[in-house]
Amino acid sequence: MPRAHLTRRYRFSASHRLHSEELSERENQQVYGKCNNPHGHGHNYALEVTVNGPVDERTGMVCNLVDLDGFVQKEILERYEHSNLNTLEEFTARVPTTENLCMEIYERLRNGFSHAVVEKIRMEETMMNSFEYAGGAELRH
């Protein structure tokens, strides 16, 4: 049965402060620069979720977009939209960098979405920064 890949794009806004308790104030400032601002700063994130699976012969789809959109809305967007990432449980022991946010979102999708295989996620933090995570299976072309 042929397999296909589906990538869907979502947007949300959230804030964070990049600061590690394992570093001194000076080291935090050197490592994170302006992103270490004590008041934090925000981003308008663009999230791309790529799933794959066999193309269903009856529907012609990898998965129903309603299922994917519903899951992402409930489990990802509602959790992170307009949040301060530093206050969330998953970031009490790690810095809420976009790399760590990618890994967290990937794991939530991979462990909860059952209608197709979650292959990877990609996030744009700014026009100049984007990040991808595929659970250790990243391939660069």
CA pair distance 94, 106, nearest whole angstrom: 16
State yes or no: is 35 an active-site residue.
Answer: yes
Which of 119, 111, 64, 113 lies closest to 90, judged by CA?
111
State yes or no: is 125 an active-site residue.
Answer: yes
Contact 66, 13 (CB under 8 A): no
CA pair distance 22, 117, nearest whole angstrom: 36
Q: Per the residue annotation, which of 21, 57, 82, 138 is the catalytic one?
A: 82
State yes or no: is 43 an active-site residue.
Answer: no
Q: Per the residue annotation, which of 104, 119, 124, 125 is the catalytic one?
A: 125
Mind telling me the catalytic residues?
A: 35, 82, 125
